[in-house]
Amino acid sequence: MTLKFDAKEIQVNGETFEILIDEQSIQKRVTELGDEISNDYKGKIPIFIGVLNGSVIFFADLIRNISIDCEVDFLKLSSYGDSKISSGNVKLIKELNADIKGRDVIIVEDIVDTGLSIVYMRGLIQSQNPSSIKIVTLLHKPEATKYDIKLDYIGFKIPNKFVIGYGLDHTQKYRNLRSIYALKS
């Protein structure tokens, strides 16, 4: 399939996805988040922890809007598989390489849905004794979130719909779309 970067609608296996957040709006918001985080961490050297694979696009754009010194590392959790619904269990596939003891950690997520992944990750990172942990997520589905978790920086709150693009996949595809599309109901 040939992707049109400025398409308003996309057909995926007989289902229609419509544009939810366009490229310009994403870029504007990511710039704002970068400014806010740079300001909050002035005088510190935070380490951004990206959650693979979904957060890579957001991660790359976000850190290029960080105007203070920072470091990066990545971890990977098991995914939904090919389903659109959270499997309800999480597994660590790739551990951190960095020593985060005493560090200011910022977890970078693409989307918080049920909240299970972020609860799991927070526990995992907490056990390595960082000095602080904050969470930044590009998207949050408040209606779907079942766990009590503090999200420090949120790009956009979105309705409880399945979304693709800007790093988010459907059966591993469509991560390369520049805008975010939601399944039409």
What's the closest the beta carbon of residue 53 comes to Mg ion, in angstroms? 7
Asked if 181 and 19 touch (Cβ cutoff 8 Å), the reply is: yes
Asked if 112 and 151 touch (Cβ cutoff 8 Å), the reply is: yes
Q: Which amino acid is at 164?
A: I
Contact letters (x/-) for ligand IMP, 34-73, by CB under 6 A?
A: --------------------x-------------------
111 near ligand IMP, judged by CB under 6 A: yes
Out of 31, 38, 65, 114, point to the residue binding ligand IMP (CB under 6 A): 114
Residue with tokens 């269990």: 89
Out of 54, 155, 165, 167, point to the residue binding Mg ion (CB under 5 A): 54
Out of 17, 41, 117, 174, point to the residue binding ligand IMP (CB under 6 A): 117
Q: 15 by DSSP, 3-state: which?
A: strand
Q: Is 99 a catalytic residue?
A: no
Q: Which amino acid is at 127?
A: S
Backbone torsions φ then ψ of 115, nearest 5 degrees: 100, -5
- State both tokens at 77: 């959790």
Give Cα 58 distance to the centre of its chain. Answer: 7
Contacting positions for Mg ion (CB under 5 A) = 54
Task: Note the residues at the interface with ligand IMP (CB under 6 A).
Answer: 54, 79-80, 86, 109-117, 162-163, 168-169
Q: Kindly list the catalytic residues.
A: 113
